[in-house]
Structure 1
Amino acid sequence: MSKSGLNLCQRKYALDILNEAGFTDCKAASTPIVPGHHLMHGDGVALQDVGSYRRLVGRLLYLTATRPDISYAVQQLTQFIDAPTENHLVAAHRVLRYIKDAPGQGIFYPADNSIQLNSFSDSDWASCMESRRSITGYCVFLGNALVSWKSKKQATVSKSSAEAEYRALATTVCEIQWLHFLLKDLHVQLPKPATLFCDSKSAVAIAENHVFHERTKHIEIDCHIVRERVSQGLIKLLPVSSENQTADGFTKPLAISPFRAFVSKLGVQDLHAPTYGRVIKRSI
C-alpha cells in the first residue's frame, strides 16, 4: 500500500505452490495455456494420483482471486477434476511455469480513481469440443480498477454466436446489478449508468430491439433481463471492436502478443518486478 494506491498479490502463496510442485527452478512460460490447444476427457493416460491434481487445481483456483490472467486456464483445468489424465496435469504444469515468470503479480487499485462502472462482456461460441457449450467471460472495472471478472462455461448449448454473446451479456448485467446494490449499501452513488461493451453487433441489436422475434424467443428471459436494465438506466450498452475487447482473454487461449495486451488492460502489475514504478492503464 502506498499513496498511489493498493496492490493485492499472493506472492508467498504462489511461491508455495511452485515449491510444493517442484517448479521453483522451472523454465518460465509466456502464457498460461497453449493457444489452440483443447483439453478433453480421456485424452491421455489416467493419473494414478488423482488427489495431487485436484489439490493443485484447488490451490490455483484460490490464486485467481488476485490473478485474473490465469482465470481461463484454471477454468479449463477444473473441467477434468473427476478423471484427470497426464495431459491435463501437463496443462496444469504450464500454468505453474507461467506463474514462475511473475509470482508477485497482482491487482492494483489506484487511489485517484473515478466512481464509474465500465464492463466488458464476451463469449467464445461452441468452444467446448465435447459439449459444444460456449464460454462466458466478463470483467467489470470501477474506474480503472478491476473489481469483478469471470470465465465460465455456459449452462446450455447456444444455437448461434449471437445467442452465446447475449447469454454472456445477461450474466454480466446480473453482476453489474449486484455491484450496483453493493455500492448503494456502502452509500456510494454512481454518477452515470454502468457502461457495458460488447463486440457482437447482433447481440447489441437484439438488446435495442423491443420487439421479440421468433428467432429470439428461446432466449426471451435473457432478453428481458438486459432490456429491462437498459430501460431503467442501470447500464448503457455500447459496441466495441474485437481488438479492444478486454474480456477476450477470459474466453479463449491467446497468443503471446494479444495475451500481454490482455493482461495490461486488466491493470495488473508485479510489485516485485525490477521495473516497478508505473501502472499500465486500461484503454477502452
Structure 2
Amino acid sequence: MQILRYLKNNPDPGLFFSSQNDLSMCAFCDSDWGRCPISRKSTTGYCVFLGSSLISWRTKRQKTFSLSSAEAECRAMTGACCELSWLRSLLKDLKILHSKAALLYCDNKAALHIASNPVFHETEYVPSGEQIVDVFTKPLGKEAFLTMKSKLGVRDIHSPT
C-alpha cells in the first residue's frame, strides 16, 4: 500500500538517458536475509546501469530459505549476474561492442569471498550506506529513500530542466 500511495502522490518521476554515456555496465545487488516474518524467505534485488543510466532492475522474494546472509547475498549476486549476461548478449545482438568487464557491487564481504572467480565478472564491496538497491529490498526512511532514488537517476520529468 505504501508503494501505491507513493506512486499516486508522485506521478512525475522518470528516468533520464543521457546521450553522453560511456556504455560501461555495472550492477548493485542486495538481499534482506529472512525478513519475511511468515516464510523467513529473503527478498533479492538488483539494479543495472549502462553508464549513468538505470536500464534494468528487479526485486523478488527468493524461492528457497537461505541459511545465512551470505547465502542470500549469493543468490542476489546470481540473479544480477544472469541479468548482466543477458544484457551483454543483447548489446552484442544490437552490434554494440562492450569489451569491459561488468562491475557487480555487493555489501556482503562473505558473499564476495565466495564469488571471487574473476573470469566473467568483477565483484566489489560497497558499504551498506551506499548500496543503491536497498531501495528495492528494505524499508528505508524518507531521507535514505530520497537519496537512493536520486542515485538511481529518477527525476521529476515534468519539472523544467
The TM-score normalised by the length of structure 1 is: 0.55
Pair 1:145-2:31 in alignment: no
The aligned residue for residue 11 of structure 2 is: 103
Question: What do residues 135-182 of structure 1 show as CA deviations (whole Å, max 9, x unaligned)?
Answer: 001000000010110010001000000100011101110010000100
The one of 146, 157, 160 equivalent to 1:260 is: 146
Aligned residue identity for 1:182? L
- Structure 2: how far apart are the matches of 1:96 and 1:145? 24
TM-fit CA distance, 1:272? 1.2
Checking the alignment, whether the CA contact within 8 Å between 1:115 and 1:191 is kept in structure 2 is no
Question: What do residues 59-99 of structure 1 show as CA deviations (whole Å, max 9, x unaligned)?
Answer: xxxxxxxxxxxxxxxxxxxxxxxxxxxxxxxx2xx434322
- Say which SS state the counterpart of residue 115 (structure 2) adopts: helix
| Same amino acid, percent of matched pairs | 47
The aligned residue for residue 108 of structure 2 is: 200
The aligned runs of 1:63-82 (5 Å cut-off) are none
Question: What do residues 97-137 of structure 1 show as CA deviations (whole Å, max 9, x unaligned)?
Answer: 32243212111111111111011010000011111000001
- Say which SS state the counterpart of residue 155 (structure 1) adopts: coil
- Structure 2: how far apart are the matches of 1:246 and 1:190? 23
Checking the alignment, whether the CA contact within 8 Å between 1:137 and 1:168 is kept in structure 2 is yes
The aligned runs of 1:161-200 (5 Å cut-off) are 161-200=69-108
Aligned residue identity for 1:248? D
- The runs of at least 4 aligned residues of structure 1 exceeding 4 Å deviation read none
- Say which SS state the counterpart of residue 246 (structure 1) adopts: coil
The aligned runs of 1:231-250 (5 Å cut-off) are 231=119, 234-250=120-136
Superposition CA RMSD, Å = 1.2
- Say which SS state the counterpart of residue 237 (structure 1) adopts: strand
**Structure of higher CA gyration radius:** 1
Aligned residue identity for 2:102? A
Pair 1:133-2:41 in alignment: yes
Question: What do residues 208-264 of structure 1 show as CA deviations (whole Å, max 9, x unaligned)?
Answer: 2xxxxxxxxxxxxxxxxxx4xx31xx3211111001111111101111010001100
The aligned residue for residue 251 of structure 1 is: 137
TM-fit CA distance, 1:271? 1.6
Aligned length: 161
Q: Which runs of 5+ in 2 are unaligned?
A: none
More strand by share: 2
The TM-score normalised by the length of structure 2 is: 0.95
Q: Which runs of 5+ in 1 are unaligned?
A: 1-90, 209-226, 278-284
More helix by share: 1
The structure, 1 or 2, with the larger RCO (C-alpha pairs under 8 Å, 6+ apart) is: 2
